[in-house]
């Protein structure tokens, strides 16, 4: 089987995550990109592609970052109007571009003053479906994910303990992650004692908005083998928007089944094009703007059976010593909300063996996802085979 991609993530970069960066989004973006390029062992003159994403113009265009970094002429430059659906998607597109020879090294980034500036959590998403939601105060993205989470718990017989198990398991990883902004220990009792924000979610079920930036570099596999770290090979990547994905990011009224998101739709292609199966996956970085998306994503990718995700997490399977360590940085719930760019970066670090105190012992095949509801993307990152 000939893989359709011959590319790898070769470098990873972050700024610190904080409540107030004290600097511009452009500066944050440039810092993270420069760090990723340096981490790869590349010179900036070798980076000929750049891609990013933003929600309601909360970030800066890629051309600005290319400019302030003094990058050479860019052969791929892409800005997409997407939220957390984007990171795996952009890495996949970058991987396809380097495979086709359209670019050699592409930096993919997300940057935001997401806590001190535009706060996505309370942002009004303009869109054609908005007129049916905002006047009735159904106006925050948390509510949409909660609506799906509620139905998922109902159909799978789950409850608060399942959501709580996700939050608790991930907080344990965050205790080992100096970059995480939410590191205070959490147990199930404390979780259940926190009041609801939007039922079924309590505060620990929700990601935490931060200022910061994160970037990865995607290079051809041949080039990757000469660079600083072991390649985190992009064995496969896929994006999916289900049919009738709605008029905008918040319009889910035409979607049939709130218990199955885009992960159910792309799993076959994701595994098939890599020549891998769910049983091969050793760790998972599952997009988690809210805890329920981890449960839906584990089932959607076939990492556990239908209706089994809650029990799976409660059993300890997603812990560092479990069968499938998941969200090893603490996830977006605890590390901070960089719209899943940091989910991809953590996956690359793990596959490269650079997870430090939270390194997963078997780290040759990692599943990564981006997105919560009707559309999103995923990668399988592997060790070089």
Partner 1 sequence: MISQDTSPPPQADVESAPFWEALRAHRIVVQRCGSCGRLRFPPMPRCPHCGAPGREQVQVQGTGVVYSFVRVHRALTPAMRDEVPYSVVVVQLDGDGPRMIGRVDGGVDVSIGDAVVPCFVDHDGWTELRFAPARAEPP
| Residues with a known catalytic role | 287, 337
Q: Is 197 exposed, middle or buried (0-12, 13-18, 19+ CB in 10 A)?
A: middle
What's the min distance (Å) between Cβ of 250 and partner 1? 10
Which is nearer to partner 1, 39 or 299 (by Cβ)?
Answer: 299
Q: Cα–chain-centroid distance for residue 218?
A: 16
Residues contacting partner 1: total by CB under 8 A: 37
- Whose structure tokens read 């939410």? 182
Cis preceding linkage at 120, omega within 30:
no
Please, what sign has the CA dihedral across residues 245, 246, 251, 257?
Answer: negative
Number of CB atoms found within 10 A of residue 8's CB: 31
Among 1, 57, 101, 136, binds partner 1 (CB under 8 A): 136
From residue 16, alpha-carbon distances to 29, 84, 206, 311, 349 in Å are: 12, 20, 20, 34, 16
Which is nearer to partner 1, 228 or 244 (by Cβ)?
Answer: 244
CA distance 52 to 46: 18
Whose CA is closest to 91, among 143, 128, 43, 53? 53
247 is an interface residue for partner 1 by CB under 8 A: yes
Looking at residue 321, the DSSP 8-state letter turns out to be T
C-beta of residue 284 within 8 angstroms of C-beta of residue 312: no
C-beta of residue 378 within 8 angstroms of C-beta of residue 266: yes
Which is nearer to partner 1, 130 or 320 (by Cβ)?
Answer: 130
What's the min distance (Å) between Cβ of 157 and partner 1? 12
Which is nearer to partner 1, 199 or 384 (by Cβ)?
Answer: 199
CA torsion, ordered 298, 5, 88, 238, to nearest 10 deg: -60
Provide the mask over 150-169, with x wherever binding to partner 1 is found by CB under 8 A and - wherever it is not. Answer: xx--x---------------
Footprint of partner 1 on 31-90 (CB under 8 A)? none
Provide the mask over 173-212, with x wherever binding to partner 1 is found by CB under 8 A and - wherever it is not. Answer: ----------------------xxxxxx------------
Which is nearer to partner 1, 83 or 200 (by Cβ)?
Answer: 200
Span from 78-86, 244-252, 280-288, 319-327 in contact with partner 1 (CB under 8 A): 244-252
Span from 97-105, 123-131, 336-344, 375-383 in contact with partner 1 (CB under 8 A): 123-131
Residues that bind partner 1 (CB under 8 A): 121-122, 128-140, 142-143, 146-148, 150-151, 154, 195-200, 243-244, 247, 251-254, 258
């Amino acid at each position: 089987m000939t893989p359709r991609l011959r590319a790898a993530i070769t470098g990873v970069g972050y700024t610190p995550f904080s409540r107030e960066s004290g600097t511009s989004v452009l500066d944050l973006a440039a810092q993270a990109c420069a760090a990723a390029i340096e981490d790869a062992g590349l010179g900036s003159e070798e980076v000929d592609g750049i891609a990013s994403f933003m929600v309601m113009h909360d970030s800066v265009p890629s051309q600005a970052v290319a400019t302030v970094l003094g990058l050479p002429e860019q052969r791929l430059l892409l800005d997409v109007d997407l939220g957390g659906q984007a990171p795996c998607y952009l890495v996949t597109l970058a991987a396809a571009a380097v495979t086709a020879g359209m670019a050699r090294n592409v930096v993919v980034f997300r940057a935001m003053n997401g806590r001190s500036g535009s706060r996505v959590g309370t942002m009004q998403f303009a869109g054609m479906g908005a007129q049916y939601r905002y006047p009735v105060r159904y106006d925050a993205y948390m509510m949409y994910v909660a609506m799906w989470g509620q139905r998922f718990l109902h159909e799978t017989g789950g409850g608060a303990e399942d959501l709580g198990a996700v939050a608790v398991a991930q907080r344990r990883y965050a205790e080992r992650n100096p970059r995480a902004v939410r590191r205070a220990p959490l147990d199930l009792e404390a979780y259940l004692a926190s009041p609801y924000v939007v039922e079924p979610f309590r505060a620990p079920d929700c990601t935490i908005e931060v200022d910061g930036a994160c970037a990865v570099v995607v290079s051809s596999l041949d080039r990757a083998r000469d660079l600083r770290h072991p390649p985190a090979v992009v064995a496969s990547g896929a994006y999916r928007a289900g049919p009738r994905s709605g008029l905008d990011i918040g319009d889910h009224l035409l979607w049939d089944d709130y218990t199955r998101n885009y992960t159910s739709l792309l799993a076959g292609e994701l595994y098939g094009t890599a020549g891998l199966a769910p049983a091969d996956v050793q760790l998972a970085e599952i997009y988690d703007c809210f805890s329920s998306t981890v449960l839906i994503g584990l089932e959607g990718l076939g990492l556990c059976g239908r209706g089994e995700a809650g029990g799976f997490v409660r059993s300890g399977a997603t812990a560092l010593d479990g069968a499938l360590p998941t969200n090893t940085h603490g996830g977006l719930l605890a590390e901070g909300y960089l719209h899943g760019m940091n989910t991809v970066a953590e996956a690359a670090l793990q596959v490269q063996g650079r997870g430090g105190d939270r390194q997963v012992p078997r780290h040759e095949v990692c599943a990564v996802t981006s997105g919560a509801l009707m559309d999103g993307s995923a990668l399988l990152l592997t060790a070089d085979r």
